[in-house]
Amino acid sequence: MDKIIVHGGHTLAGTVKISGSKNSALPILAATLLTKEPCVIHRVPDLSDVHYMLQILNHLGAEVERASGVVTVKAEKVDTVAPYDVVRKMRASVCVLGPLLGREKEATVSLPGGCVIGDRPIDLHLRGFEALGAAVRVHAGNVKVFAPELVGAKISLKGKFGSTVLGTDNVLMASVLAEGTTVIEDAACEPEVVDLANFLNKMGARIEGAGTPQIVVEGVKELHGAEHEVIPDRIEAGTFLVAGAIAGREVTITRAKYDHLAAVGTALEACGFNLTRSNGAITIRPNGSVGSVDLRTEPYPGFPTDMQAQMCALLATARGDSEVTENIFPQRFMHVSELKRMGAAIELDGATAKIRGVNGLSGAPVMASDLRASAALVLAGLKAEGETEINRVYHIDRGYELIDEKLGSLGAHIERVKV
Ligand code: UD1
C-alpha cells in the first residue's frame, strides 16, 4: 500500500492541467452499455475508479480498449449480473443498473461499497426504476431490478438531503429506451448530469432539461455509438485552487471551466484571494493573510460537498473563526480528527465544523479515510511544518490523476513511497 510524504513549507507556483471529470466519466462509461455499437470517450482520467468501471464493463461482456485518455467500448452483447468481486471496490458501480435495465430489462448488481462517508442508500434510484415499471428484489447482498417492459412515468427523485446525482444518472439511463415520456422531477442539476445527458443525446436519446430540476425524456427504440469528450473535473480544479490558496504564490489551472466552480471561487474570494480567469485558465494569488468564511454544502450550484474537506484544511490556518456545515453527507468529517492531530482547532457540532484559525500546522502521520478527506490532508501537509505522512493513499488514487506529480510540478516537496 503506497503512502505519500509531504514536506511542508514550500511555496507553490506555476501551471497545472486539469484532467477529465471522474464523476462524469463513470456514468458515461456505464452508458456505453446502452448500445451494441462502439463508443469512443475522450479525456477519461487515469484513476483507479475508472479502472474498476472498465473492469465491470469487461466483466459484463463489453470489449474495452484504452489508449492515453481515450476509451473505446463495444458492448455487442451484455451479461446482466455484476457480482460482488467486481463492484465492491466502488460505490459508483451502481450506475450500471440503469443502462442494463434499459437495454436488457434486467440487472443484478451487488449492493455498493465505496467511500466511507456515512450511510449511502440507493432507495431513490430504486424508486425511479419502480416508477418505470420495474420490480426490485434485494437478496443475499444483491439488488435485482427487472421489468417485462419499461414505460415512461413522472418520477420525483427528491430525498431527505435533496436530489441524487447518480440516482438521476441511473433513472435517466433506464428511461431513454422506455416506451413514451418520462419526466424526472427534482433531478440533480450537477454539470456531470448534463454531460451524461449530452452523451446520451449524441447516442440518439431525446433528453431535454438536463441541468434543471425537471428532465424530460422521450423514449426511443434504440441508441447508436457516439464519440464524446468528458468535461473538466471541477473537484480536481477546486482542489488545486485550494492548494494554491494554502501554499501558493501564484498557481494557474488550465483546461478548467470556471462556471462549474463558481461557488468555490466565491468562497476563496471571500477568504481574500484574487482569482483571475481567461479561456479555461484560472489563476489564484494570495492577498495578505487568509480570511475566515462560513460555508454550507449544497447541491449544485451551491458549494460542493466534495470540496468541504479541502476548505476545512485551508480554514484551519485562517485568521478568525469559520463554520462549515455539511448538508449533503452530515457525517462527512473524517478529516477533522486527522487535521486536529496536525494542530488544527476544530470542534464538531452535529453537521457543523467550528474552526478556530491557528497560526500554523505541524506535520504528523495521518490516515486517509475517504477520497476528499485524503486530499485535505495532502493540502494541510503543504502548509504544515515538517513532514506529513499520509497513509492509505489508495483513496486519493481513486479520484486524483497523478496528484503527487502535479503538485510536485508546482514546487511541492512530495513523494510517494511503496510500502
Ligand atoms: C455523487 C458523487 C459524489 C458527491 C455526491 C454529492 C459520483 C460518482 N459521486 O455521489 O462525489 O459527493 O454526488 O454531490 O458522481 N441519497 C439517498 N437515497 C438515494 C441516493 C442518495 O438518500 O437513493 C442521499 C445520500 O445519502 C446523500 C444525498 O442523497 O445524503 C446525495 O447523494 P447522491 O447525490 O446520491 O450522491 P452520489 O450520487 O452517490
Which residue has 468528458 as its cell numbers?
A: 230
Give the strand order in the sheet containing 274-278.
Answer: 12-17, 248-254, 281-285, 274-278
Which atom of ligand 1 is nearest the CA belonging to 159? Answer: 22
Residue 121 beta carbon below 6 angstroms from any ligand 1 atom: yes
Residue 110 beta carbon below 6 angstroms from any ligand 1 atom: no
What is the model's pLDDT at position 111?
A: 81
CB proximity list for 245: less than 8 A, separation 6 or greater: 268, 271, 273, 284, 286, 290, 314
What is the model's pLDDT at position 1?
A: 77
What is the model's pLDDT at position 115?
A: 46
**If you take atom 4 of ligand 1, which residue's CA is the nearest one?**
306
**If you take atom 24 of ligand 1, which residue's CA is the nearest one?**
161
Residue 21 beta carbon below 6 angstroms from any ligand 1 atom: no
Residue 164 beta carbon below 6 angstroms from any ligand 1 atom: yes
Residue 117 beta carbon below 6 angstroms from any ligand 1 atom: no
Cβ atoms within 10 Å, residue 224 = 14
What is the model's pLDDT at position 29?
A: 98
Rounded to the nearest whole angstrom, what is the distance from the C-alpha of residue 165 to the centroid of ligand 1?
A: 6
Q: Which amino acid is at 354?
A: K
Residue 307 beta carbon below 6 angstroms from any ligand 1 atom: no
Rounded to the nearest whole angstrom, what is the distance from the C-alpha of residue 211 to the centroid of ligand 1?
A: 16
Residue 234 beta carbon below 6 angstroms from any ligand 1 atom: no
Rounded to the nearest whole angstrom, what is the distance from the C-alpha of residue 384 to the centroid of ligand 1?
A: 32
Rounded to the nearest whole angstrom, what is the distance from the C-alpha of residue 81 to the centroid of ligand 1?
A: 23
What is the model's pLDDT at position 83?
A: 80
**If you take atom 17 of ligand 1, which residue's CA is the nearest one?**
121
Residues labelled as active-site residues: 115
Which atom of ligand 1 is nearest the CA belonging to 160? Answer: 22
Domains along the sequence of the chain with CATH: 2-19+232-418 (3.65.10.10), 22-229 (3.65.10.10)
**If you take atom 32 of ligand 1, which residue's CA is the nearest one?**
164
What is the model's pLDDT at position 118?
A: 56
What is the model's pLDDT at position 112?
A: 66
In DSSP terms, 228 is beta-bridged to 41
**If you take atom 9 of ligand 1, which residue's CA is the nearest one?**
23
**If you take atom 11 of ligand 1, which residue's CA is the nearest one?**
306
Alpha carbon separation from 416 to 5, 232, 368 (Å, rounded)? 6, 25, 14
What is the model's pLDDT at position 114?
A: 47
Rounded to the nearest whole angstrom, what is the distance from the C-alpha of residue 263 to the centroid of ligand 1?
A: 19
Residue 351 beta carbon below 6 angstroms from any ligand 1 atom: no
pLDDT average per 10 residues of sequence, the chain (419 residues): 93 98 98 98 96 96 96 97 85 94 96 58 94 94 94 95 95 98 98 98 98 98 98 98 96 97 98 94 92 97 98 97 96 95 97 97 92 96 96 90 96 93
Rounded to the nearest whole angstrom, what is the distance from the C-alpha of residue 320 to the centroid of ligand 1?
A: 32
Residue 180 beta carbon below 6 angstroms from any ligand 1 atom: no
Answer whether 170's CB lies under 8 Å from 125's CB: yes
Tell me the angle at which helices 191-202 and 165-175 cross, rounded to the nearest 10 degrees: 20
Residue 62 phi/psi, 5-degree rounding, is -80, 150
